[in-house]
Amino acid sequence: MKVRHDIHTHTLFSSCCYDPEATAAAFVEKAHELGHSVFGFSNHIWDERVPGASNWYKGQTVGYGLEEKDAIPSNTHGIKILFGTETEYCGMTDNLGMLAETAKKFDYILVPHSHTHQKNFVMAENPDVKAYRKTLAAEICEKLPGISEEQAQRMASTVKYQEVLAAIKEHTVDDGEYLADFLFTSFESLMVHPEFVKMAASVPTLIAHPFYPCGESKEQLSRVLGMLLAQKDRLFDDFSTAARMNVGLDVNIGTYRSAEDYKDDPMVAVMRIALEAGCKFGFGTDSHSLKGLENIRKGDAIGDAIGITEKDIADII
Ligand SMILES: [Zn+2]
Ligand SMILES: [Zn+2]
């Protein structure tokens, strides 16, 4: 199947987009060049009516996000433009970053449950890491008597997560298992979150990069996806729930290994289970640059490897 849409994109309205060319107008032109029939904008937004935004999300409000609508050119070359958003779900606190009522302002909502790189916001740090930071703070206090306990804690908290993990000699919690467990539990708690249930019933809703732990090394990623696939029945049940709720899945191009042949890709294996469970899909580059939109062409081979055909595409598209 030739993919003729892209509904996961970020322009300069997202704080993590650094491409000066990534404007709404340029994206529409590129979508035309790529032969899309449907194109969606999905910048990061945290609804200011929901308490608990991280500092990073604080500026990315609904009001701000909606301003981009005015920047969409009137000539879209016949492309159906969808104005959506990628909000947030923090599994560790069961906090959804948007109210169902607010979601109605958008054509569709992408809800990620796997922004696992946003530590202590989306996902709690591995308990080993937490314990290590505590020890580190105590050592800093001891060696630098002029420093307050609070300052030492702050210093210990700035050491990178992966660096702390590497420094721990005896692990009591395997980080891969910890991630795999989080991916399951966060997906499952999202599916029963009352506001999410309302949202899914009233606005086209898809899960952004389902079951893909963001920010992991290639090796760790393969391990974690292997652990998920070892629980095929649980994946099937979770995807069946999504299918019953008419919650679609984002086929996120960047989450597949770049290769000529995707048939042995673990993410393909995960999505095949979703297809079997009756889920619907939407393709997305998750591009944060103008050039990155071209990656959609990898979607043809990815979709074929999963077995997605026109009838499996989400209704909104
Ligand atoms: Zn995302
Ligand atoms: Zn995204």
CA of 44 to the centre of ligand 1 (A): 8
The whole-angstrom separation of Cα 133 and Cα 302 is 41
CA of 142 to the centre of ligand 1 (A): 41
Q: What percent of the chain has pLDDT over 70?
A: 99
User: Which of these three, 112, 143, 172, is where a domain ends?
Assistant: 172
CA of 136 to the centre of ligand 1 (A): 32
User: Which of these three, 152, 172, 192, is where a domain ends?
Assistant: 172
Tell me if 164 is assigned to some domain: yes
pLDDT of residue 263: 87
Res. 22: pLDDT tops 90: no
CA of 315 to the centre of ligand 2 (A): 20
CA of 45 to the centre of ligand 2 (A): 11
Burial of 260 (0-12, 13-18, 19+ CB in 10 A): exposed
CA of 86 to the centre of ligand 1 (A): 7
Q: Which residue has the higher pLDDT, 258 or 203?
A: 203
Res. 50: pLDDT tops 90: yes
Q: Are residues 149 and 241 in the same domain?
A: no
pLDDT of residue 280: 98
Q: Parallel, antiparallel, or unpaired for β 95-96 and 89-90?
A: antiparallel
Q: Which residue has the tokens 């984002």?
A: 250
CA of 78 to the centre of ligand 2 (A): 25
CA of 260 to the centre of ligand 2 (A): 24
The whole-angstrom separation of Cα 8 and Cα 281 is 12
CB burial string 228-246: b at 16+ within 10 A, e below: bbeeeeebeebbbbbbebe
The whole-angstrom separation of Cα 46 and Cα 54 is 9
pLDDT of residue 259: 67
pLDDT in tens, 117-159: 999 999 999 999 999 999 999 999 999 989 999 999 999 999 9
Q: Are residues 150 and 296 in the same domain?
A: no
Q: Are residues 296 and 149 in the same domain?
A: no
Tell me if 142 is assigned to some domain: yes
Q: Are residues 230 and 83 in the same domain?
A: yes
CA of 87 to the centre of ligand 1 (A): 8
CA of 8 to the centre of ligand 2 (A): 6
Tell me if 151 is assigned to some domain: yes
Q: Which ligand is nearest to the CA of 285?
A: 2
Q: Are residues 165 and 214 in the same domain?
A: no
CA of 277 to the centre of ligand 1 (A): 23
Q: Are residues 165 and 223 in the same domain?
A: no
Which tokens hold the place of 159?
A: 């050491």
CATH code at 181? 3.20.20.140
Q: What are the distances in angstroms from CA 288 to CA 132, 191, 234, 308, 314? A: 35, 28, 33, 25, 23
Q: What is the mean pLDDT of the chain?
A: 95
CA of 209 to the centre of ligand 1 (A): 7
> 34 with 294: CB under 8 angstroms?
yes
Tell me the pTM. 0.94
What total number of domains does the chain contain?
A: 2
Count of CB atoms situated within 10 Å of the CB of 81: 18
The whole-angstrom separation of Cα 82 and Cα 43 is 12
CA of 208 to the centre of ligand 2 (A): 7
Q: Which residue has the higher pLDDT, 80 or 22?
A: 80
Q: Are residues 227 and 197 in the same domain?
A: yes
CB-based neighbours (< 5 A) of ligand 2, an ion: 86, 286
Tell me if 23 is assigned to some domain: yes
Q: Are residues 230 and 139 in the same domain?
A: no
Q: Are residues 191 and 164 in the same domain?
A: no
* Banded pLDDT at 116 (limits 50, 70, 90): very high
Tell me if 317 is assigned to some domain: no
Residue 78: partners with Cβ closer than 8 Å, 6 or more residues away:
37
For 286: left if phi > 0, alpha if psi spans -120 to 50, otherwise beta; the answer is left
CA of 115 to the centre of ligand 1 (A): 6
CA of 155 to the centre of ligand 1 (A): 28
Q: Are residues 113 and 249 in the same domain?
A: yes
Q: Which ligand is nearest to the CA of 215?
A: 1
pLDDT in tens, 174-189: 999 999 999 999 999 9
Q: Are residues 165 and 278 in the same domain?
A: no
Name the packing angle between helices 149-157 and 127-143 (round to 10°): 130
The boundaries of the domain holding residue 152 are 127-172
Q: Are residues 301 and 213 in the same domain?
A: yes
The whole-angstrom separation of Cα 35 and Cα 296 is 11
Count of CB atoms situated within 10 Å of the CB of 184: 19
Q: Which ligand is nearest to the CA of 97?
A: 1
Res. 164: pLDDT tops 80: yes
